[in-house]
């Protein structure tokens, strides 16, 4: 075996080990690992080969990543499904996996989170003008990633913003 081929294998193994450490720190998706490998100097073919190996070794699992990401962003950051989906799409997660991850969020819990978000935002606003409160609260919830139709429907039931 030539010294050049040995050197290439050593570099590939070093990249694989760095990628394993990167994945061990927190859950990662394929796209994140590819970007990390490119940043470390791997070409596209090597990055693709290594991500396949890491998937086989269990270091990368897009389903696990999407489920944990959706749960974490919903519970900790109070993001809605629209925003979670947008970020997962940006990470090149397939639609089927995104749907499954979002379906894991219970409807009742989701609605309760939106109601809490609305209530907290109303409490935070200084204005007494109901129209402004409704507009600002709706804009805030939509920015957090909740579906506009659900936001407006939920706001209809909030006595502090209805006429």
**Same domain flag for 78 and 30:** no
Tens of pLDDT, residue by residue over 113-145, are 999 999 999 999 988 888 999 999 999 999 999
* Tally of domains within the chain: 3
pLDDT at 16 over 80: yes
Longest CA pairwise span in the chain (Å): 81
**Same domain flag for 88 and 116:** no
pLDDT class for 162, splitting at 50, 70, 90? low
Percent of residues, the chain, with pLDDT higher than 90: 85
**Same domain flag for 95 and 125:** no
- Does residue 43 belong to any structural domain of this protein? yes
Averaged confidence pLDDT in the chain:
93
> What confidence score (pLDDT) does residue 11 get?
87
Tell me the three state secondary structure of residue 106.
coil
pLDDT at 1 over 60: no
**Same domain flag for 117 and 144:** yes
CATH at residue 35: 1.10.10
- Does residue 161 belong to any structural domain of this protein? no
C-alpha distances in Å from residue 118, one per residue of 121, 132, 133: 5, 13, 10
**Same domain flag for 12 and 35:** yes
**Same domain flag for 11 and 51:** yes
- Which of 11-15, 58-62, 158-162 shows the highest mean pLDDT? 58-62
pLDDT at 160 over 80: no
CB atoms inside a 10 Å sphere around CB 63? 14
pLDDT at 30 over 70: yes
Q: Which of 29, 120, 108, 20 is nearest to 70 (CA)?
A: 29
Q: Which of 149, 123, 129 is nearest to 138 (CA)?
A: 149
Tell me the three state secondary structure of residue 124.
helix
**Same domain flag for 93 and 124:** no
Q: Which residues form the domain of 134? A: 107-156
> What confidence score (pLDDT) does residue 67 get?
97
pLDDT class for 153, splitting at 50, 70, 90? very high
pLDDT class for 104, splitting at 50, 70, 90? very high
- Does residue 51 belong to any structural domain of this protein? yes
> What confidence score (pLDDT) does residue 6 get?
72
- Does residue 124 belong to any structural domain of this protein? yes
pLDDT at 5 over 70: no
**Same domain flag for 7 and 53:** yes
- Does residue 123 belong to any structural domain of this protein? yes
> What confidence score (pLDDT) does residue 127 get?
84
């Amino acid at each position: 075996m030539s010294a050049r081929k040995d050197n290439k294998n050593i570099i590939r193994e070093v990249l694989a080990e760095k990628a394993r450490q990167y994945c061990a720190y927190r859950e990662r998706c394929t796209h994140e690992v590819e970007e990390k490998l490119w940043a470390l100097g791997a070409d596209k073919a090597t990055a693709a080969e290594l991500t396949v190996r890491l998937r086989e070794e269990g270091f990368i699992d897009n389903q696990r990543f999407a489920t944990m990401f959706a749960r974490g962003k919903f519970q900790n950051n109070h993001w809605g499904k629209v925003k979670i989906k947008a970020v997962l799409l940006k990470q090149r997660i397939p639609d089927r996996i995104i749907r499954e991850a979002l379906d894991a969020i219970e409807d009742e819990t989701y609605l309760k989170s939106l109601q809490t978000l609305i209530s907290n935002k109303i409490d935070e606003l200084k204005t007494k003008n109901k129209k402004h409160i409704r507009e600002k609260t709706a804009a805030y919830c939509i920015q957090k990633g909740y579906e506009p139709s659900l936001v407006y429907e939920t706001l209809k039931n909030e006595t502090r913003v209805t006429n």
